[in-house]
Amino acid sequence: MTRPGRLCPGDRVALVAPASGFRRDALERGADELRQLGLEPVYSPAILERTRFEAGRPSVRMQVLREAWCDPAVRALVAVRGGYGSQQLLPLLEPAWVQHDPKLFIGYSDMTALQAWLLAQGVASLHGPMLDGRLSDGEVRYHRESFWSLVTDDRPAGPQEPEGVEVLIPGDARGLAVGGTLTQVVSLLGTPWGMPVPRGAVLWLEDVNERPYRMHRMLTQLAQSGALARASAVVFGECPGCDEPGGSHQWRDVAGEFFQGFHGPVLFGYPFGHAAGAQWSVPFGVHVRVSGTAPHVVFDEALVI
């Protein structure tokens, strides 16, 4: 895997909108948070374009990505919001954009499609805070320490131990961290841009507001694709809103039953992605150790160089 360069104070970061539109105030407040961290956020006026579901036509959103990835003055790309639309861009992306000058790409949710594409190009990325709803709301919505250390420190992050992580299936494993939002991972199956899950990978999965039977259905599809057989471990997020209304089925219990007999450790409740509170950042494309005993998660490689 190719690791992007680390961020330094004063570095220019491009704000991009590959998916849905967003509130202008969230853009400005998120940009202010990046400035407080010492970065210089910039964006094209094109990200303010709107269509029915997305932040502009696919050609416009693709052009914004191309300009950001090809601009030597830009050191990272930060998505403003998820929602829907990133998958539309996959046929339009060109590997040369990221292979010549790998830059750090930061996002989650619908950005899973772009992070799968980056993994296929051999480039690591950060499953971390976007502006709308995370950076725009400050430290109550994103874990500043895990974010900042991962994007600025060229040493391995080591143990990452947020509170509330549970062991559903014990065991020990080490592999390449891949994954993202389950809905997006499954939506890529059967396309040329499916999420790469190499043998031995540690699969990180999370989602929000999906009923347990829908989550079970998506895991069944992932299992039938062969991805779960290749994974050495699975780490679930908190998955807020994924319990059955009325409490008849708890997603944690359904997940535990689904993975009975799995050949590696399965953790639940890591606050990444659609976390209920402060979101922890997770690097994709680096090696991580997962264990049923503390420390549960140890990153053995740095995200940046």
Q: How many helices (H) and strands (E) does the chain have?
A: 9, 14
pLDDT at site 277: 98
Q: Is 274 a catalytic residue?
A: yes
Q: Is 263 a catalytic residue?
A: no
- CATH code of residue 34: 3.40.50.10740
Q: Which of 283, 268, 22 is nearest to 128 (CA)?
A: 283
Residue from 109, 136, 146, 232 carrying the catalytic annotation? 109
State how far the Cα of 169 lies from the Cα of 82, in Å rounded to an integer: 31
The overall pTM is greater than 0.85: yes
Alpha-carbon Rg of the chain, whole angstroms? 18
Residue 201 belongs to a domain? yes
Residue from 127, 143, 274, 296 carrying the catalytic annotation? 274
Q: Is 206 a catalytic residue?
A: yes
Whether 143 and 20 map to the same domain: the answer is yes
pLDDT at site 280: 98
Q: Which domain holds residue 213?
A: 158-299
Amino acid at 289: R
Residue from 206, 287, 291, 296 carrying the catalytic annotation? 206
Residue 216 belongs to a domain? yes
Residue 36 belongs to a domain? yes
State how far the Cα of 103 lies from the Cα of 106, in Å rounded to an integer: 10
Residues of the chain with pLDDT under 70: none
pLDDT, one tens digit per residue, over 53-105 is: 999 999 999 999 999 999 999 999 999 999 999 999 999 999 999 988 999 99
DSSP state of 261: T
